[in-house]
Amino acid sequence: MPSATKPSDWLLPALWSAMGAALAGALVARSAGAMAGVLVGAGVFVLGMLLGLRGPMRRARAASGDFPEAWRAWAEAHVPLYARGSDEERALFEARVLVALDGWSIEGVDGVEMTDELRLMVASGAGVLLWGRPEWDVPTGRSMLLYPGTFDDEFGTEDAGSFDGMAHAQGPVLFSAPAVRSGWARQNGYNVVLHELAHVFDFGPDGADGAPSFLDARSADAWQDLVHREMRRAARGDGVLRAYAATNPAELFAVSTEVFFERPARLRQHHPELFEALRAVYNVTPPDEAPSQPSGESLMSRRWDST
């Protein structure tokens, strides 16, 4: 099983603990003597390390957990990256899914009966988006709520709503449970889990802006130029991105992420520059979809949102 922690997970707590220990020890030594300063400094260092390593240690424990054979069978059938991945890549995917399951609260609302498979479907989005980036962390501490169907912008389900998913910068991520299932059932470029988790990676201090926080600062201007060109194309119906991608840069990023992972051959054919940009962002080349694969039902009116 690959490690779920990075050297920086240990180095940064050690650095801050050492600085705190040195400061506390020096202050105490001035009034109570050198030995007292050493003891206090050591205590501050140990306490700082214990607090700083709680997150990395929890991720490491979660990543080393059991990934049932039934889950592997599901991933083989529904996640092309996993089906064609190396043993090491598959193990990292499994670790990421386990960390997400441990770090996210995934619950059903309005009568949705939660199953291990539904939770796996939500958590697998993290494994896909992070496939080529072992240095990135799963964004834990999130609440994921699954609704029995589409919902409106007030999260109501009494009447037919227009949203299959919605992500909030500080609040929960909402999904329609049927949309979660259908998103993995067909590799047709419509996957609400990948869409909403792309928003989660996009969120910065000012919300989702279509320029993910992990984007290289040197590429930011070129990325924004590309995004706005692609938004104009989507608005004209030119290419394979549905019209909703023209809503704003955040939606362009999320919609194109869906197509990149699910219909990479079509995206590469019709949007080669966007395909290469996403390949650089995610550091992966997804396996091409089967040429004979049907495009699936039209979801042009469906909306996935971020706030």
Task: List residues bridging with 173 in a β-sheet.
Answer: 144, 167
Q: Identify the pLDDT of residue 51.
A: 54
The residue ranges of every structural domain in the chain are: 7-62, 65-306
Class of domain 65-306: alpha beta
Chunk the chain into consecutive blocks of 10 residues (it has 307) and report each block's average pLDDT, rounded to whole numbers: 51 56 61 66 58 59 82 97 96 95 93 94 97 87 91 57 82 93 94 95 70 71 92 96 94 96 96 95 90 45 50
Instruction: Specify the pTM.
Output: 0.77
Are β-strands 163-167 and 303-306 bridged in parallel, bridged antiparallel, or unpaired?
Answer: parallel
